[in-house]
Amino acid sequence: MTDRSHVLIVDGMALLFRGFFATAFTGNFMVNSKGIPRNGLFGFLNYFTNSVETFQPTHVICCWDMGSQTFRNELYEGYKSNRDAPPEELVPQFDLAKDIVTAFQVPNVGVTGYEADDCIGTLTKQLQKDHQVTVVTGDHDLLQLVDDNINIAIMKKGQGNYDVFHADNFYEKKGLTPKQIIDLKGLMGDSSDNYPGVKGVGEKTALKLLMQYETIDNLLADKENLTKGMQKKLDQYAEDLAISRKLAAIHTEVPLTFSVETAVWNNDLTNIRTYLIDELEFQNPGRWLDKLWEKATG
């Protein structure tokens, strides 16, 4: 058992989107008297408070995208160009979700030109030496960050279900090392983020190649011993492979200054209770706060 402090980093984008789409299909956006939709906020609160209750952190941070354009769009014009704009009912809930986090006295972290993933990656690397770090997300791209003292908790279907990846179980679960996730996506591309990889190389082939060669660099160094078909693909799509590797890699040197002292989890939930009732008109904030209060007071 360690006496290290435990920092929980919450992927705010993942939680808010998940909360919104979990209820949006019903058409009930939970609009309050000010005309503000709150269905995403309701789900966000469910996931946020459950993650704190589950992982019992000493510190909490929440990370966000800061607009749709990042350095990856400069690297590759088509990056995420296949995605629709957020639904109009979701748009006002982004800032309100950040206000909720602030009311919890938790810092919001985001840097223009970078994704939330990059901020999360930067923070995990800054904090892992002196702290245990757990990241809560639904984004499997973040698995490349798993390392000593860095766990990634992937949200599963149903509230409170997490698949926790750490340095000791990662290979058993994935058949790869965390760093190989970057090369896996470099080879196979990513349809959700709209970058190509090597055309004709799917996950099964990419996994087989990485199990044999470990890295793309090793693979390319031994290209002459590959099948003629694979040689042709690697030659024909060499540029796509190179750019896809860059796009897949989470940037861990975002220019952000952060003091972990600002992230100490505060068990005084008065501010958030008042905010949820007076500003957002949630009638029963106890559904999110009572369990946290019980944990705090023992």
3-class secondary structure per residue, 120-179? HHHHHHHHCCCEEEEEEECCHHHHHHCECCEEEEEECCCCCCEEEECCCCHHHHHCCCCC
| CA 59 to chain CA centroid, nearest Å | 17
Q: How many CA atoms lie within 13 A of 112 on its CB side?
A: 0
Which residue, chain included where needed, has tokens 């939330």? 116
Q: How many domains does the chain have?
A: 2
H/E run at residue 9: strand 5-11
In a domain, 294, yes or no: no
CA nearest to 262, candidates 113, 149, 127, 114: 127
Q: Are 48 and 92 in contact (CB under 8 A)?
A: no
Residue range(s) defining the domain that contains residue 222:
180-248
Q: pLDDT confidence of 12, banded at 50, 70, 90?
A: very high
> Across the chain, what does the average pLDDT equal?
94
Write out the DSSP string of 93-107: HHHHHHHHHHHTT--
What CATH number does residue 104 fall under? 3.40.50.1010
Residues 217 and 272 in one domain: no
Do 47 and 295 form a contact (C-beta atoms < 8 A)? no
Question: Is 114 a domain residue?
Answer: yes
144 and 22, same structural domain?
Answer: yes
Domain-located, residue 279: yes
**103 and 168 share one domain:** yes
Cα(263)–Cα(155) distance, integer angstroms: 22
Q: Is the distance from CB of 160 to CB of 50 less than 8 angstroms?
A: yes
* d(C-alpha 69, C-alpha 83), whole Å: 13
Please indicate, yes or no, whether residues 129 and 216 belong to a single structural domain of this protein: no
Residue in the block written with tokens 């791209």:
141
pLDDT at 27: 85
Alpha helices in the chain (DSSP H): 12-24, 39-55, 71-75, 91-103, 116-127, 170-174, 180-188, 203-213, 216-221, 228-236, 238-248, 270-278, 286-297
pLDDT in tens, 92-139: 999 999 999 999 999 999 999 999 999 999 999 999 999 999 999 999
Report the C-alpha gap between 13 and 255 in whole angstroms. 20
Which residues lie across from 147 on neighbouring strands?
150
Answer yes or no: do 24 and 139 share one domain: yes
In Å, how far from its chain's centre is CA 86? 17
pLDDT tens per residue, range 133-188: 999 999 999 999 999 999 999 999 877 899 999 999 999 999 999 999 999 999 99
Residue 295 lies in a domain: no
* 121 shares its domain with 244: no
What per-residue confidence (pLDDT) applies to 1?
36
| 91 and 207 belong to one structural domain | no
Is the whole model's pTM more than 0.85, yes or no? yes
